[in-house]
Structure 1
């Protein structure tokens, strides 16, 4: 038995067999209801509980899609800001101004809309280093290309997100990190399909709003406490299922407050 399956079975034994509504209310009040609880209490369209194997598959998907990708996106934005200290400092000042009269740990959901430049920096990093560099899609109908060629129904197409994001006809100097590409004035005439870090259409990433909020929150808090500096080694992009750097992505970190532990 794998450790994941053992955890699921142990959690299943601790769940109540009746009074589910009260159990959920108590969990919600104490903020301890987690993803495994939700899956264990879920029913399919026939009213049947999910099997242990189904729960493990859902948990594995959540961990991959919601954590590896966000970790990659956050790592690359810190790398890009380390290489561009002027942008890093502007982001820091934006966060400091927003939270100047409050406990900096108390970033609220509505605060995230008040960080326009930090958001531009995150988006430009997602363009330059998309966490998921490739996706595949199954054609449900014939697709006629502009030159008249047809991709027939039933074909699986691999779409290069990293290629779309580096198309020089859409993105001049595509290897340059320039957050002002995402200034609203500069984005007016751009196709919405030119920037697809979370894919697009009916099969786009269901968690993209959460992922952006997570990255912006973590980035804002990190910039309040630390300065990020580039390492002497220039990373080489390693596009796999998740975009990584060969040998890891290394940065130097300095505390802004000498007394910070």
Structure 2
């Protein structure tokens, strides 16, 4: 089966996987097995040491960044991971909550003009909020350093860049660089790359100036700022990080953090708008556990919201941010069904299908947060749930994303009730680098100001 683009890919793969327990497909010129049965997935996880390399197609991310923890291995990967993991450490995440709260309050205020109005696409407002959070937490800068229009354009260009990468993956004739450079896709991709890198360059310059000024005055920063690590650390070979190195890592972190968080939040909110009974139950939990309508939330507050966790996990089950995971077999790998994968095979795990296995998830297409009651989770093997990947190459930003999502949802749901005229059948799902809903986040909102919170 040869693939074309976005929504068609999702439709074709979902249709054909209903007919067979395993399939092979052409992704560009490469014939690749698509694996989604739990036994073979479990076997692959056991062979993780032979799948440390990402699938060949991920190299197209280099049209945006020359180096990236998302696709690199070896020295470059270790250097980036060392600094990036510190950015999402538990201690730093606690500090970030101030930013999560303040920027979400701004979002609540921005949405007040839409109360009682018609249905609108929430995606732009969420994008502005999340980019503002990332500028604050990653760069240590107030988002007001950029205008709202600049931030929204940045978010749009991030989305465009990922679309361009996906488009190239789906077009075999654009795999050779010498052909790709003559295409309109190359021109569009370069335009986005230049805008995004210039945007990040301005942020880096502003933070470095602030960092140097604080050092000269002997002022200690109130909290740890991720980007400052690059100004005082050296690479493993003893050299300093270049501006291109720093830009690559900043763009990788902001890009990944933005995309997965907006996607996840969008799906959770639309699912709550569709399932009013679940939204009511989440609201009840928030009002019972959190005292005070407008106070800032801390990690203790968020850790008390167990049903909200179930809702988020169930949304990730049905609509995982990473719907397919591509790896390159660096050695022969035996499969559970008696087959094997040869060294050099590009293999893909179809997470969306794995997450809808009726053996582990009864009535698997139904939105049911009770799938993540503690006793039910214990009954399932861990490898049948991997919304952010698995093993050492698992997306390291999942804890960051979860805290952002919970903070934003708490503030939004304490102030507004969400409604929609859409159903899941209206979703226009597209399998790209991440899972996209091309229909956006169409909702209307009602104020909860008359609801007392005790």
**TM-score (norm: length of structure 1):** 0.87
Distance in 2 of aligned mates of 1:22 and 1:136: 48
Determine the C-alpha separation between the residues in 2 that align with 1:187 and 1:161. Answer: 17
Between Structure 1 and Structure 2, which shows a larger proportion of helix residues? Answer: 2
Counterpart check, 1:124 vs 2:320: no
Contact 2:274 2:422 in 1 (8 A): no
The question of 1:71 aligning with 2:262 is answered: yes
Kindly indicate whether the alpha-carbon contact (under 8 Å) linking 1:9 and 1:52 is maintained by their aligned counterparts in 2. no
1:243 partnered with 2:439: no
Partner of residue 408, structure 2: 218
- The answer to whether structure 1 residue 207 and structure 2 residue 397 are counterparts is yes
Alpha-carbon spacing, 1:118–1:181, altered in 2? closer, same or farther (3 Å) = same
1:111 — aligned with what? 301
CA displacement at 1:20 relative to structure 2: 8.1
SS across alignment from 1:248: coil
Shift of 1:243: 1.6
Q: Tell me the secondary structure at the aligned position of residue 137 of structure 1.
A: strand
1:177 corresponds in structure 2 to 367
Matched, 1:39 2:230: yes
What CA deviation, in whole Å up to 9, does each residue of 1:131-172 have, x standing for no partner?
121221222332211121111233232222112112233322
Measured after TM superposition, the shift of residue 108 of structure 1 is 0.9
- Deviating more after overlay: 89-98 vs 135-144: 135-144
Q: 1:21 to 1:243 in 2, by over 3 A?
A: farther
Question: SS in structure 2 opposite 1:158?
Answer: strand
Contact 1:77 1:122 (8 Å CA) reproduced:
yes
- Structure 1, unmatched stretches of 5+, are none
The answer on 1:62 being equivalent to 2:282 is no
The answer as to whether partners of 1:72 and 1:244 remain within 8 angstroms in 2 is yes
Q: Secondary structure at the match of 2:327?
A: strand
Equivalent residue pairs, number: 253
How far the C-alpha of 1:232 sits from its partner, in A, is 3.9
Among 330, 335, 345, the residue aligned to 1:145: 335
Is 1:4 aligned with 2:200? yes
Deviation at residue 18 of structure 1 after TM alignment: 10
1:92 equivalent in alignment to 2:288: no
Root-mean-square deviation over aligned CA pairs: 2.5
Q: Secondary structure, in 3 states, of the residue corresponding to 2:239?
A: coil
CA–CA distance in 2 between the matches of 1:48 and 1:130? 39
| Residue number in structure 1 paired with 2:153 | none
Structure 2, unaligned runs of 5 or more:
1-193
Q: Indicate if the aligned counterparts of 1:120 and 1:179 stay in contact, CA closer than 8 A.
A: yes
User: Does the Cα contact within 8 Å between 2:293 and 2:414 map onto a contact in 1?
Assistant: no
Q: Deviations over 1:172-201 (max 9, x none)?
A: 222110000000111222010111011111
Alpha-carbon spacing, 1:183–1:202, altered in 2? closer, same or farther (3 Å): same
Worse overlay, 62-71 or 9-18:
9-18
Q: Does the 8 Å contact 1:105/1:221 carry over to 2? A: no
SS of residue in 2 equivalent to 1:188: helix
Alignment partner of 1:16: what SS?
helix
* TM-score, normalising length: structure 2: 0.52
Q: Pick 1 or 2: higher relative contact order, CA cutoff 8 A, min separation 6.
A: 2
Instruction: Identify which range, 164-173 or 105-114, moves more after superposition.
Output: 164-173
Q: Is the deviation greater in 71-80 or in 146-155?
A: 146-155
Q: Does 1:186 align with 2:376?
A: yes
Q: What is the rounded CA distance, in whole Å, between the counterparts of 2:208 and 2:272 in structure 1?
A: 44
User: Out of 417, 421, 436, which is 1:227 matched to?
Assistant: 417
Q: Is the 8 A contact 1:5 1:56 kept in 2?
A: yes
